Every structure is written in structure tokens, then in C-alpha cells.
Amino acid sequence: MKKYVLVLLTAFVAISASAQIPGLPQLLTIEGGIGGGLSSGGQDFALVGNGVNFNSLTNAPLSGLNVSGKLKIMPPLIPLRIVGFVNYNLLSTNTNTSTTIPNTSIPINTNPFAPTGSRVNVLNVGAGVEVSPLPLPIITPYVALDFGLYNITPENKSSYTRYGLGAGIGIEFSPPLIPLSFDIEGKYRLANLTGRENISLSNATAQENSFNFFQLSVLLMFKLL
């Protein structure tokens, strides 16, 4: 995962450097920022019996905090921004995954996608675009779409990596006379849109169902270029 973050940061530095070539007009505006907010969603943990008469589906609502970083590259004259981001979501559930499946002695957290305790952490790295249909001087509303890598770590279980989409809306508020802005963004994230798998266990098959959550973040953005 560190390799993906390093590649993303290296690309951003290279773009920033090329936009500052002496003797040429400034071709790009670049902003960087950091912030955080709230995340809320859910995941279904399914176990299907192998030769045993049970089919368990346990819903685990997840909620918690997120820490977010964003870089925006803004070409001139067009209402489009190229965005790179890193999000870390610290989620937890009040579902007791150590309880057993009815009529069996098999705990729900036998499923390797279910946490042994209550926590599920999600590191999300990706890129996307923001389109501003009404670019106003102080308030800029936008719609956003991104694609990213999701590294998911249930408590006391092995982490796994999936790929997914994020879509949402936001508003960037730029007060006059100061070189910073406030970016408020809400996105719905499909964390395991691709790469899902089922895992065969000794007494059941663990099914990986959809893992989706809503992320609301407020970021303080600084003009870098």
C-alpha cells in the first residue's frame, strides 16, 4: 500500500514542477489540503453451510471518523479539476460478531471478512475529477467521481485489497483576500466493487458481499501553485 501512496505523491510533485518552468506562463493552479469528518455505512457477513443446513447473513452497520488529504490540479478556462486523494476511515460496529450462528456452534466472525472485535479500518487511495457547472467567485459547487484502491483491515484479521468507485457532490468556499479555502464534500463509496471473492472454510463458505459507506469530509485547502 505504501508503494501506491509513494507513486501518487511522486506524480503530483512532477506535475507541480512542470507547471513552474521559468519563462512560461502558469499553466495550472494546484491546491492541497487536509481534513476529516464522518463515515457511515455497512457490510453483510455471510456464511453458507457446507453439508450443514444453515445460511447465515449478518448485517453489521459501520460508522466512525475519517482523515482525508486531497490535491487538486485546475487547468485554466475549463470547469474541471483533476483530483488525487488519500482517505483513512476508522470504522466500528456494534454487531457482536462473536455470537454463533443459530443451531450451530460456529461464530459469525469465522468469516475472514468479519472483524474479531468491532473495528474495520479502510485506507483509500485514488484519483478522479470534479466538475463545476457553476464556477462562482467565492462559492464553487461541484459534482465528483473517482476510482480508487481500498485496503480493508477487519480487527485481528488479514487485510485485503479491492477496487471501487466514489461519487458525490461538494462545495468549495474561498474567502476573499486569504490564500486558503474550505472544501466540504459528501461521497458514497463502493469499496469492493471489483475483486470480491468467496473463501472456502472447513465447515462453511464465507461470502464477500458489498461493502459501501458514505463519507462526509471538511478539508482546509491551501494554494500550492
For the stretch 196-208, pLDDT in tens is 999 998 888 998 9
75-126 pLDDT tens trace: 888 889 999 999 999 999 998 988 888 778 888 899 999 999 999 999 999 9
119-131 vs 160-173, strand pairing mode: unpaired
Q: Which of 146-150, 214-218, 220-224 has the weakest average pLDDT?
A: 220-224
**Dist CA 7 CA 194 (whole Å):** 22
Residues 124 and 159 sit within 8 Å (Cβ to Cβ): no
Residue 72 and residue 193: Cα distance in Å, rounded? 25
Class for the domain spanning 2-223: mainly beta
In angstroms, the CA 2 to CA 206 distance is 29
Q: What is the pTM of this model?
A: 0.85
Mean pLDDT of 28-55: 89
Q: State residue 7 phi and psi, 5-degree precision.
A: -60, -40
Domain ranges of the chain: 2-223
Task: Give the pLDDT confidence score for residue 10 in this predicted structure.
Answer: 53
Pairing mode, strands 55-74 and 80-92:
antiparallel
Alpha-carbon distance values, 4 to 85, 163, 208 (Å): 12, 13, 24
pLDDT in tens, 209-219: 999 999 999 99
pLDDT over 50 (residue 21)? no
Give me the DSSP letters along 146-213. Answer: EEEEEEEEETTS--EEEEEEEEEEEEEE--TTSSEEEEEEEEEEEEEEE----EE-SSEEEEEEEEEE
Residues 152-196 have pLDDT tens digits of 999 999 999 999 999 999 999 999 888 899 999 999 999 999 999
Res 46: pLDDT? 87
